[in-house]
Structure 1
Amino acid sequence: MSRLKRIAGQDPRAGFKAAGRDCGTSVPQGLLKAARKSGQLNLSGRNLSEVPQCVWRINVDIPEEANQNLSFGATERWWEQTDLTKLIISNNKLQSLTDDLRLLPALTVLDIHDNQLTSLPSAIRELENLQKLNVSHNKLKILPEEITNLRNLKCLYLQHNELTCISEGFEQLSNLEDLDLSNNRLTTVPASFSSLSSLVRLNLSSNQLKSLPAEINRMKRLKHLDCNSNLLETIPPELAGMESLELLYLRRNKLRFLPEFPSCSLLKELHVGENQIEMLEAEHLKHLNSILVLDLRDNKLKSVPDEITLLQSLERLDLSNNDISSLPYSLGNLHLKFLALEGNPLRTIRREIINKGTQEVLKYLRSKIKDDGPSQSESAAETAMTLPSESRVNIHAIITLKILDYSDKQATLIPDEVFNAVKSNIITSINFSKNQLCEIPKRMVELKEMVSDVNLSFNKLSFISLELCMLQKLTFLDLRFKMLPEVLYRIFTLETILISNNQVGSVDPQKMKMMENLTTLDLQNNDLLQIPPELGNCVNLRLPPFHFEPSIVFLTLYICCSLSIRTLLLDGNPFRVPRAAILIKGTAAILEYLRDRIPT
């Protein structure tokens, strides 16, 4: 009875008002009854425009069943109900919360994401036990000062609001471990942030930050810092002193130089793609002893230093879409699992080698370390492929390399003389990238029995015609467009789809299951708002050695006959789940996460 007296001290009506009279059908009585036992109430997605009084007063008022039946067993005594500790009212239409929030002082989790809240009530200060607060995807313009009273708060999610500044005293949240302020309108980060000494993860992406405070290095426990999609031109050198930092995201900023990292011995991932970095020097690399992932795509790099070989732990290196004309042969000594080179004017590696994948490129580079140098004929062949030819058609590339190359011409149509030049020669690769094509050249069908690799990236394609389905041996396709064309789902021989940096909004997992040979799907930096859980079935599973009922056997076989995706890249999309913590674990973890969310 002590708990009831305590609540009664807050509300003189406590114990005299029956619950359920104002709930209507929005909150079933069975749900309230279960919540009194478990201490958890989930009202997500119920189209609520306000929180019913019976929810706020769930631990104050006499439950409805007490009025109907006054005989209770030992396990049904309503006065021994559990305090509500977890309340989820996300995905509704709430525009405000009342000060009745104070009637739930035992809350440790409050989840109100995806509503229309413009403010939080001052009564939030009384939730002193709160450990997790999710107010993401609302319309908050400012945070109440009372939020700084939540000294036990460990997780605070404020992403996708309209915040322009951070409340004074925010640094008093000394137990905060996970803070997400992404997709707001912040222009500065106060130096006082450095007092958040327990912070492990900080997400500041998609704001309007032009700088970071030098004091940020005082966050001694920070492991994950995300500053993607801001206006950063420089990084304070003090950042290099963050000894615990493991993941650093600086994509889509205005950086011209990489910082040095003398103290970041634990740094495992560094993402600085889509900046304006022109130079990579030994000083930038020599301290990255633990680095696993280095993303340098879409910059202005002209060369890669020999010191890249210092990164002996490196597994993924993305150099795509730079101005690199050659690679150090010593790069072949690294134990890379993934190396991206597309979109560079390379003169020392044939396109057909690059198309074969990372291991073939590394093998080629290692072979060059042992040789005195490329033979004269090989040098001529490589130069013929990559340098602009004096003639309109590169005949040498057709005969020697089996490549029909008409790239980087800014052409709106591929001239007939390009196809006529093939004659009786065998062509395995087509490169029409970096032009102004609005549709796929119809004469590509003439090569349908030979071509396996097609590069149509950096054009103006808005759709793909069915002629592409007629390419019988197509295994590699590089495209850039706004939507995933239906025709792709019909090319069952495809093994690789590179569709990053576009505006693709959705994929159809049911149609994708027909693409049994697909192993690599790159959907990075698109407009995917959600990832269908069924995509998790896009992996081959072995039948366990047990006997099943017939219906279960059919279900298992259905999964086993689906495609076997080994590489699924989803970074840089606006979806909320899977979270970044899942994405960084790789393809297997993503597919497992998706499978677990398929409705049974």
Structure 2
Amino acid sequence: CFGGLHALKELMAHDNEFVTVPPEMCTLQSLVHCDLSFNHITHFPSFPSHSLPCLVHLDIRHNRIVDFPSAAFGHQASLRFIDASFNNIRTFSPSGDWPRLDDTVHVFDAKCIPLWDLIHRHFSGTQLVIDMEEGDPHQPRLNWGKLETLRVHGNDLSILPFDLYILTSVEDLSYDTQYVKIPTQEVVIQGWAMLRCYMRRWNDARNSRHLDISHFSLRLTPVELMLASSLTRLNMSHNRLSGTLDPQLSSLTNLTEMDISHNRLVEIHPKLVHLTRLTAHYVETEGYFAERGGMRWHGNCWRSPPHPVRMQGTRCIFGYIQSFVDAYHSRELHLKGTDLRHVPLDVLKLTHLTTLDISEGNQLLVLPPTLTVLQVLESLLTDDNRLFYIHPELGKMVSLKQFSMKNNVLETLPHELSAISTLKNLRYSGNPLTGPPEGAPVSIRSLELIQADTPQTFEPWMDEVLAAAAEDVPPEATLVYLKNWIRARGSVPMKKTGTGVLDLRALGLGHMPKEVSDLQWSGHQHRHDDMTNLAHIRLDHNPIAELPPVIKAWYCVKSLSLNNCMLRSVPPALGIMEHVACLERFEACDNGIRTMQVAPGTFTALKHLYLDRNDFTVLPLELGWMSSLEVLSLKENKILHVP
């Protein structure tokens, strides 16, 4: 019927009941305006490439078209306006697919997965490996170089093909943003200009395998990204990705480089450690290995992994994450060589840990009280760090059996560790501590001598030690040392009242510990103000050869006993009124003391002085300065005469 209408310029056939269009329509060489809206057309025939050369305006809205008529109107370079809205169009592709012509994608096992299922799996966290397929090489490429308006809203389009970018002259593109799933709606709602840029980058990635989707303000990982498992480089920097990096990225197994910098990411999902090619590109340069490719992560809000771990590169990041994955099953966490400055928060999530190893290659400064959440931890290894403080709250780790802190800079140990009844192995060599020797048991022989010679001074803790020794398990002197400190000063959290008596007898002390000689410093170290309230200090039966030259903050100390030690002299520091104002009783029997240095104004409060069984040959003249002395005992010395 159209065969002789060569001069026809306008065809107005709207509001009819057309089901199809006759092929002869292609002979309308002068047709400029064609309106076939409001009919029942389901498809158009294929027209030759030279047909309808003058067509400018095409209106096919409100029909029942299922496939966009690219074969009929894809070659009309003169087209400026196309309205295909309110049809049943499900597929539309200028030259190919994204990744196919229908709403399905193909997986490696050749099973067909519907698009809605893909999207559901993506957002539900189900891993699905999908490969991007090439488009149909026979699909005609649209020749719409002059097209300005394209309307496809009111259809069933859930996928906009990435090659829409070729429509560079289009200024007005309408579609239903709420129904479009691919590309991601975050780009779709930003308008046609941004969408065209996004699609162009995808087209570039189709050949280069390098996809750059930076600067698109993305808040979520695009679902279409899961279709491109052949990608080798991925740039998602300068977006708004937040929370945990999407685990579905683990399907991109060919990635050798991934840029996720300048987002709002907090942590990396453990599944991403399967991207092994990100860690495979290391090149040896001048004796060390430098990373090539890998993951760029800076400019985020990382909570995990810690910054020192991230600074060591992708391999260390994935190794750190893998150690937590392994620890979830083995209950043993090993974090050696990760250069940590603090205990990671990730550790506190594994409350079922039995072993925590943060030794060698780390730089911890403090062990925080938060470790107490690990209530079943049995072994804590913190050797070769830079620890200077261990929080006393660690005394609440009720299951701890082994605690090693070798080669640090600790000057004191928290006394509260003595509250851990299961702790049997405490190792701290390589620290500037002045307590009992590491691993040395309490001197049972010395306790037996104390019991025999002075049963009135025998304390309950000594009975406990002798009872344990009878079972061949004598406790370590360090643990008894810490426990006796708690008894002396008390502890509010442990609901113990201090006795004021510091009993450190028979613990193998080679020197007077600094926390004993300087109670003010000790109170600062232990965050405890009652250290200076000690009234009695007992250091008998220890191999102490000399006393420190300076004694500080013994404001309330009334008695000091150093019987059966290895002293050779008594320094005048014990008598300085500024720090030892209340000392009334001093015992230093069974030593090798030959001299006692007493200066004017020292030992003014001393009333009882016991120096039996020493090596005095002459009665010290300095004793005359002790104006308050009431009892002086010098039995069994070598004194020849009294001056």
Q: TM-score, with normalisation over the residues of structure 1?
A: 0.29
Q: TM-score, with normalisation over the residues of structure 2?
A: 0.28
Larger-Rg structure = 2
Indicate the structure with greater strand content. Answer: 2
